[in-house]
Amino acid sequence: MNRNHNSKLFILALTVFLAVAHVPLGLAVTDKTIKQRIKEAAANNAILREAKVGIVVEHGYVVLYGTVRLYSQKMAYERIAWQTMGVVEVDDEIRVVPVRPLTDTAIKHKIREVVKTYERFHGAQVDIRVEDGSVFLRATLDHPSDILFLKHRVAEIEGVLAMEIDAAFRV
């Protein structure tokens, strides 16, 4: 009978463990904790210290709002939010407001410099269009990491307000 009792306890303990293990981790994190973790991560990121961004969290849904100087700062805030445990969705309403924005022609020139400077883009085809600070790139690249690299370099150009990249990869 003792063995039967131990078996029942084991099955009960296993059932409870499996039930708890299937609870999404996000439910255990409060909205206040999510907000605090995003704030702390942003405060520890050197490029975000001067940004004026507010954070609202409700049931794991995060809204980022305010202003930053560079598009790369907007990307960094969104990345931090998505990487925070308990986050269900992120709505990035951050506006990019450059201190000294470049003209569309100057932005296009800077992007061409990026493409020429980095060997990974030699032989790549990159078409560039810039309208009112919004950058539209159509590129044929060698590797998926090239698109991320290009996106991050373009995001560092002051005056870039938005970005769309249509990429294809050489086989």
The pLDDT tens digits of the residues spanning 8-57 come to 555 545 444 444 444 454 456 899 999 999 999 999 999 998 899 999 99
> Do 68 and 77 meet the contact criterion of CB atoms below 8 Å apart?
yes
88 and 148 housed in the same domain: no
The neighbouring-strand residues paired with 55 are 64
89 and 108 housed in the same domain: no
pLDDT at 9: 53
CATH number reported for the structural domain that contains residue 91 in this entry: 3.30.1340.30
The neighbouring-strand residues paired with 168 are 140
The pairing of beta strand 125-131 with beta strand 134-141: antiparallel
Query: And the tokens for 146?
Result: 């090239």
Neighbours of 93 (CB within 10 A): 12
Rounded CA separation 72/108 (Å): 17
pLDDT at 171: 74
H or E element that contains 84: none
116 and 149 housed in the same domain: yes
pLDDT at 85: 96
Q: How far is CA 91 from CA 55, 81, 109, in A?
A: 10, 10, 31
The pLDDT tens digits of the residues spanning 102-153 come to 999 999 999 999 999 999 998 899 999 999 999 999 999 999 999 999 999 9
The reported pTM is 0.79
pLDDT at 123: 86
85 and 145 housed in the same domain: no
pLDDT at 98: 95
> Do 66 and 50 meet the contact criterion of CB atoms below 8 Å apart?
no
With respect to residue 128, please indicate whether it lies within any of the assigned structural domains: yes
74 and 118 housed in the same domain: no
Determine the structural domain holding residue 55 and report its residue range. 25-96
Give the position of tokens 């700062």: 73
Rounded CA separation 66/88 (Å): 21
Query: And the tokens for 119?
Result: 């060997």
31 and 92 housed in the same domain: yes
With respect to residue 73, please indicate whether it lies within any of the assigned structural domains: yes
- Count the domains in the chain: 2
pLDDT at 20: 46
Q: Is 69's pLDDT higher than 50?
A: yes
87 and 135 housed in the same domain: no
CA contacts within 13 A on the Cβ side of 22: 5
With respect to residue 46, please indicate whether it lies within any of the assigned structural domains: yes
112 and 88 housed in the same domain: no
Q: Which of 96, 119, 135 is the last residue of a domain?
A: 96
Rounded CA separation 40/73 (Å): 15
pLDDT at 28: 66
